[in-house]
Chains A and B, each alone.
Chain A
Amino acid sequence: MIRRVLPHGMGRGLLTRRPGTRRGGFSLDWDGKVSEIKKKIKSILPGRSCDLLQDTSHLPPEHSDVVIVGGGVLGLSVAYWLKKLESRRGAIRVLVVERDHTYSQASTGLSVGGICQQFSLPENIQLSLFSASFLRNINEYLAVVDAPPLDLRFNPSGYLLLASEKDAAAMESNVKVQRQEGAKVSLMSPDQLRNKFPWINTEGVALASYGMEDEGWFDPWCLLQGLRRKVQSLGVLFCQGEVTRFVSSSQRMLTTDDKAVVLKRIHEVHVKMDRSLEYQPVECAIVINAAGAWSAQIAALAGVGEGPPGTLQGTKLPVEPRKRYVYVWHCPQGPGLETPLVADTSGAYFRREGLGSNYLGGRSPTEEEPDPANLEVDHDFFQDKVWPHLALRVPAFETLKVQSAWAGYYDYNTFDQNGVVGPHPLVVNMYFATGFSGHGLQQAPGIGRAVAEMVLKGRFQTIDLSPFLFTRFYLGEKIQENNII
């Protein structure tokens, strides 16, 4: 009777003998647990410091549904769209891991900030068009209660791309594709160019394409801070730390052709804290690689590229950091307020900065690449490789004075200079959003939405980015983008 009245658990504990003591060989290590419990009880008693609940507020949470590696504009854009497109409020827990909260080396802050639709691939054009409408309505997308509206400082002055004889045909066909997708681009002959912009020297220019709408440049910091603010208000957690390890499990499966394939699934992300050996294992379901110039390292941690070369297992992520310089100069007689971002036939580009006859620009190196180990600026590069082309194109630039310069990284895709978006075929829960080789900032809103659709719905819904999947590196299908500045 007593046994029936007492609650079950208590009955077992009080009236029955513990199985471990009777049988021996109990796997729970009861003796160790007892001493631990004794230690904990002793620490609760007054007179001892309470170490029971350690302060872990500086550590990331132990569980998160999605971990985004990289807190630049691409990572934050993916976080924003994941929260925007989730089916129920608070359905997805997102953690953004960023190594450096000052963004001192991040490509976003060091970018020139241009946006243009003059690409050769329709997908790139659509991404840029969507990003332009996102930026135009940024205060509706990124509105946060009680926070001031964002001022992107957008200059709608457009891009002017110049083509020599040999590139003129390609430019014409590109403009046709751009117009079909809805970009407002006009073609100009050298005479029309001289009429419109008298400060240009049209020697060597056969054709020019000029973007009339939705093109220009803006402040990338403002976009980054706006995204950060909005994303934090939507409940995304931030963590300053470095991803050092992925713990994954493998599964050996057979394809339809009876070939063995090892599929990996990442279970845990080890996030190491800044300036400390402490790390937190974050259990996660999905990992997004938006680490920019360092994406290849993150991919290697996950086991991408470990295998014999020439196989899918052995295909590495072909993204590497490439250093690019930007110089700021002052030229009092230079081109006026109407100057677009001019990209010369030689690859040199420049644009106005502010009202005071300051310009900034640079050029992608054609011969040897600068060493990407640090962000030191090579001023001789300007003297030898940039200035002569600028002075040829704009005679007023023969007398200019360099005020300052900086360097930043392109997350350069050595395969075809276009981004990688979507899941890896073998590491099934790692999604890429990287490798955009200099046009990541201007396409970030579109890419973020595409990756969020892929994660939440399993396929691309608005813009089809299937040509940008990882598998093209193994299959060798290049989608070459011709208009890279």
Chain B
Amino acid sequence: MAAPWASLRLVAPMWNGRIRGIHRLGAAVAPEGSQKKKRTILQFLTNYFYDVEALRDYLLQGEMYKVHEKNRFRDKEWIRPDKYGHFSQEFWNFCEVPVEAVDAGDCDINYEGLDNLLRLKELQSLSLQRCSHVDDWCLSRLYPLADSLQELSLAGCPRISERGLACLHHLQNLRRLDISDLPAVSNPGLTQILVEEMLPNCEVVGVDWAEGLKSGPEEQPRDTASPVPA
């Protein structure tokens, strides 16, 4: 969620210059004289009568709402389902808008379901966290997103193993890959190293390199160079 001050910053440019800022509601570019008079009277009334203040707040909220509607995607807000699990009908108005990020965490998406995601040619961020049906075969289908995908999260998927991670090398634009908590990967430390070698420009997150180490009191002084046993 963007901080309120950030949204205000984005909101401000949309205002046509008629009104400078929230705190100077009523200030206008019109001739100074009459405006000043108007502003003084309105200010005066607001300062003295609660009803006038409430009315002005109400009108201000209406203006803010209209502006927020126009700026909905500038804030990079996520389109989420409401408490009943339904998406708003206005979603259909945005057919032409390219989808940048999909959060499919905890979904039951499977191999055939990925058909729908692979058509999003400008997808930059994909999160498949904790998807129980995503397995190695599904990862082999992700190569069409190679041109745009920059962030991929596979954390917590129980069916993904290091064999599926091998086909992520097609995603050369990937900058951030999260492979934490993959129970089916046999050797997480070594896998992390191999994946990092495979994707040199990508930051691979999720496994502490020391996980693959076995500590033994007599081995530790000698074992300085290579951290992971082959």
Chain A interface (Cβ within 8 Å of chain B)? 136, 153-158, 212-214, 216, 332, 336-339, 355-357
Contacts and interface: CB of A to CB of B under 8 A. Distances in A.
Q: Which 7 A-B pairs have the closest CB atoms?
A: A156-B140, A338-B169, A155-B163, A337-B194, A337-B166, A337-B198, A136-B137
Contacts of B111: 136
A213 B194 contact: no
Nearest to A211: B140
Tell me the dominant secondary structure on chain B's binding face.
helix
Contacts of A356: 190, 230
Given A337-B198, A355-B162, A154 B230 contact: no
A155 B163 CA distance: 5
Interface in B93-152: 111, 136-137, 139-141, 143
11 contacts: A153-B163, A155-B136, A156-B136, A156-B163, A156-B167, A213-B141, A337-B162, A337-B197, A338-B169, A355-B162, A356-B230
Given A156-B139, A157-B166, A213-B143, 15 more contacts: A153-B161, A154-B137, A155-B166, A156-B166, A157-B167, A158-B140, A158-B167, A212-B143, A336-B197, A337-B166, A337-B194, A338-B169, A355-B186, A355-B194, A356-B190
Nearest to B170: A212
Contacts of B194: 336-337, 355
Contacts of A156: 136-137, 139-140, 163-164, 166-167
B191 to A, nearest CB: 7
Nearest to A358: B230
A141 to B, nearest CB: 14
Nearest to A357: B230
Contacts of A158: 140, 167
A153 B195 CA distance: 18
B166 A338 contact: yes
Contacts of B201: none
A154 B136 contact: yes
Interface of B: 111, 136-137, 139-141, 143, 161-167, 169-170, 186-187, 190-191, 194-195, 197-198, 230
Nearest to B187: A355
A191 B137 CA distance: 28
A357 B228 CA distance: 13
A213 B111 CA distance: 12
A337 B198 CA distance: 7
B149 to A, nearest CB: 15
Contact of B230 (A157, A332, A336, A338): A332
Nearest to B199: A338
Nearest to A356: B230
A294 B120 CA distance: 52
A134 to B, nearest CB: 12
B201 to A, nearest CB: 14
Contacts of A336: 194, 197-198
Contacts of B166: 155-157, 337-339
A156 B194 CA distance: 16
A336 B198 CA distance: 7
Nearest to B111: A136
Nearest to A186: B143
A156 B143 CA distance: 12
A18 B227 CA distance: 96
A214 B191 CA distance: 22
Interface-central residue, B136, B166, B169, by most chain A CB under 10 Å: B166
Contacts of B195: 337
Nearest to B197: A336
Given A156-B163, A338-B198, A355 B191 contact: yes
A205 to B, nearest CB: 20
